[in-house]
């Protein structure tokens, strides 16, 4: 039974919502012992919501168990963005996306694991006191990041479920590929960012992960829309969903040969004719452009977590600088510190023109390159990731640069704010392979059309 069928039955009172919710909580508690998909399981909240919905079963998501990435605020539930510096933080409000889901009958079952503040491609950069989530197909492999917990529980759940996730540079597409589920990253601004603990404000996007594209569409329809609390949010009508011309990105085929063949065979098996299109500028500069802009914004956004107004509390006996240093040194993980340093360097007065401003100009050129491609094609296709889900012991041997290069296929659409979706197209060596479909701004309908072809 999928989420759509479940909600229809729940509205007709053919399902005992309270009993089902209790079973779901019991199920995820068992899963979490070995796979660590949740940083927090909101048992009391979920049962309270289930009892309320059972009295008046209605809404698009009536009674549906919904997990939420840990960087998206849920009222009264610990929300840490995977970082020790926010341990114990319980928001007094819901993020707009969460609030919209609750209004439509969603039951929030917990906060899913992520890389600290979204800093990573494999969900191994978890904050102190957190466990790394494990791949549902091989416990010795990673889930992908940074929304790894969302992807893992979505695959393993033996109950109807959708996860509200978030992407900055590929944090929905990557784990969706590694865990064999569908993940939609919408156009920047389509979903309000109010209540999102930010990484990079001009790149962050809230989306959804589910077993199928139709379930992703269900959730996106609920959480999207203009929000007076977020000036960057947009109330846009969905564009034309017809897909007439498709192209495969030439440079994206320079990956593992098995992955390349599976993507092309998937298109052939669906009877989709395609051209090959080149995006040379994006292929060459997107990754470096992304890491300059994203780390610059991150170093600014994370400055507020210093142990004074926000973040873990420390003794105020030291000077301001000593206190600031103590709090951040003790609570930020290695990768968070690295990205703060990189971003601070890139936006310093002596280097801003050479790095940050130049990257911003290149970003505009990348957007224009995509726009040129979309003047000819309705959708662009590529592998989601260049490799299969790596083993955890393999990841420990990678340099930071090698880890950053794993985002080479996903950062382009994220830089351009374009909607994209990863769908599972099969397995290689018993591990899932994802295919990524990218469309023009506000053309999410074309992604769902392609995914359901």
Active site residues: 69, 146, 171
Among 187, 218, 176, 221, which residue's Cα sits nearest to residue 69?
A: 176
The beta strands (E) that lie in 347-430 are given as 379-383, 420-428
Is 38 strand, coil or helix? strand
Beta bridge partners of 428: 431
The answer to whether the peptide bond before residue 166 is cis (omega within 30 degrees of 0) is no
DSSP, residue by residue, 96-133: HHHHHHHHTT-EEEEEE--SGGG--SSS--PPTT-PPP
Q: Are 219 and 208 in contact (CB under 8 A)?
A: yes
Q: Is the dihedral of CA 360, 357, 283, 421 positive or negative?
A: negative
How many degrees, rounded to 5, is the angle at CA 64 between CA 199 and CA 421?
A: 45
For 309-330, letters b (16+ CB in 10 Å) and e give eebbebeeeeeeeebbebbbee
Can you name the residues that pair with 432 across neighbouring β-strands? Answer: 427
End-to-end distance of the chain based on CA atoms, in angstroms?
Answer: 21
């Amino acid at each position: 039974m999928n989420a759509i069928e479940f909600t229809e039955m729940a509205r007709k009172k053919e399902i005992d919502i309270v009993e089902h919710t209790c079973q779901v909580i019991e199920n995820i508690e068992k899963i979490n012992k070995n796979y660590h998909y949740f940083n927090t399981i909101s048992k009391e909240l979920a049962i309270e919501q289930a009892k309320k919905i059972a009295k008046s079963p209605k809404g698009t998501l009536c009674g549906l168990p919904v997990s939420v990435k840990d960087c998206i605020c849920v009222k009264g539930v610990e929300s840490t963005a995977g970082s020790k510096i926010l341990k114990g933080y319980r928001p007094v409000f819901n993020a707009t996306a969460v609030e919209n889901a609750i209004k439509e009958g969603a039951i929030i079952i917990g906060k899913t694991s992520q890389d600290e503040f979204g800093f990573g491609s494999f969900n191994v950069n978890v904050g102190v006191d957190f466990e790394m989530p494990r791949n549902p197909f091989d416990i010795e492999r990673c889930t992908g990041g940074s929304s790894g917990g969302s992807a893992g529980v979505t695959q393993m759940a033996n109950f109807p479920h959708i996860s509200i996730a978030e992407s900055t540079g590929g944090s929905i597409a990557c784990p969706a590929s590694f865990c064999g589920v569908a993940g939609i990253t919408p156009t920047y601004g389509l979903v309000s960012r109010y209540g999102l603990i930010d990484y990079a404000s001009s790149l962050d996007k809230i989306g959804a992960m589910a077993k199928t594209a139709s379930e992703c569409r269900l959730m996106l329809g609920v959480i999207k829309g203009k929000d007076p609390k977020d000036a960057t949010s947009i109330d846009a009508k969905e564009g034309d969903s017809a897909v007439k011309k498709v192209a495969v990105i030439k440079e994206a085929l320079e990956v593992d040969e098995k992955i390349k063949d599976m993507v092309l065979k998937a298109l052939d098996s669906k009877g989709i004719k395609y051209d090959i299109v080149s995006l040379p500028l994006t292929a060459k500069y997107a990754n470096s452009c992304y890491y300059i802009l994203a780390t610059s914004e991150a170093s600014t956004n994370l400055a507020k977590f210093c142990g004074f107004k926000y973040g873990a509390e420390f003794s105020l006996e030291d000077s301001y600088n000593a206190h600031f240093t103590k709090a951040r040194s003790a609570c930020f993980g290695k990768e968070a510190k690295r990205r703060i340093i990189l971003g601070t360097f890139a936006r310093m007065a002596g280097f801003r023109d050479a790095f940050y401003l130049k990257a911003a100009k290149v970003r505009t050129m990348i957007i224009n390159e995509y726009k040129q491609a979309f003047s000819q094609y309705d959708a662009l296709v590529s592998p989601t990731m260049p490799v299969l889900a790596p083993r955890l012991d393999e990841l420990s041997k990678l340099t930071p640069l090698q880890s950053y290069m794993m985002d080479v296929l996903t950062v382009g659409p994220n830089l351009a704010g374009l909607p994209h979706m990863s769908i599972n197209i099969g397995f290689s060596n018993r591990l899932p392979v994802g295919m990524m479909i990218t469309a023009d701004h506000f053309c999410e309908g074309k992604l769902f059309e392609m995914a359901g072809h």
